[in-house]
Structure 1
């Protein structure tokens, strides 16, 4: 009887937990690989977290206003294997980011490479490959 009650409580807990706990999106569901972006901006925030690392940059628009962009990358473990450290991006750094824009048109992208103001290019460990020219195209 105690086992059935424990199972009931576990089931109830899992069923009532926020769906975000279990949610993980696919690249294709959120980002459009046919909408490549390249933006330059100033790093204003870095979130070194699982399952994705995020950083935020302030980008100057054509009319002189500023817009905040959210950049998603791979997990911290993926980034470390690609040469990143927790301190690779610092608040105030000027960076150029290439990636795929969010499907919903918001100022958000899946960052695939980041060029630091030192000229160093870091790749992000995302689920999609970096933009590469197709040498076999006719």
Structure 2
């Protein structure tokens, strides 16, 4: 009997880890803070669970601010036609999204355009 209870406890605890690992994007980003920036890609992190890319944005006074943008997983991006080579460092981009709740220069991507104005597919993250 004790062995059965122990096995059940282990099985239930193993299920809890994957469930708690996923989070809503609204926990980190604020849908009431839409942003749109244009700048130069300075870094790309093609990783799971979410891909990040960084854009250097220069304001009117010449000050450069680096934004950290989060997108979906690499498999989701690949299904939408992206690859590691889609976004090389130095590319001019325009990005729209929602700013971070705690870090203003961090955002989740909702729209993405390349230097020619072409809009790229942006997979939706879970809500």
> Is the shorter-chain TM-score for this pair beyond 0.5, marking a shared fold?
yes
Shorter-normalised TM range: 0.7 to 0.9
Per the normalisation by structure 2, the TM-score is 0.78
Per the normalisation by structure 1, the TM-score is 0.72
CA deviation after TM superposition for structure 1 residue 77, in Å = 0.8
**RMSD of equivalent CA atoms:** 2.3
Which 4+ residue blocks in structure 1 deviate beyond 3 angstroms?
22-25
Kindly provide the CA deviation profile for residues 2-53 of structure 1, in whole angstroms up to 9, marking residues without a partner as x: xxxxxxxxxxxxxxxxxxxx75432010001121110001000001000000
| Greater relative CO (CA pairs within 8 A, separation 6+) | 2
List runs of 5+ in structure 1 lacking aligned partners: 1-21, 130-138
CA deviation after TM superposition for structure 1 residue 120, in Å = 1.6
Q: Distance in 2 between matches of 1:95 and 1:52?
A: 19
Aligned residues: 112
CA deviation after TM superposition for structure 1 residue 71, in Å = 0.3
List runs of 5+ in structure 2 lacking aligned partners: 1-19
Q: Distance in 2 between matches of 1:123 and 1:108?
A: 20
2:106 pairs with 1:108: yes
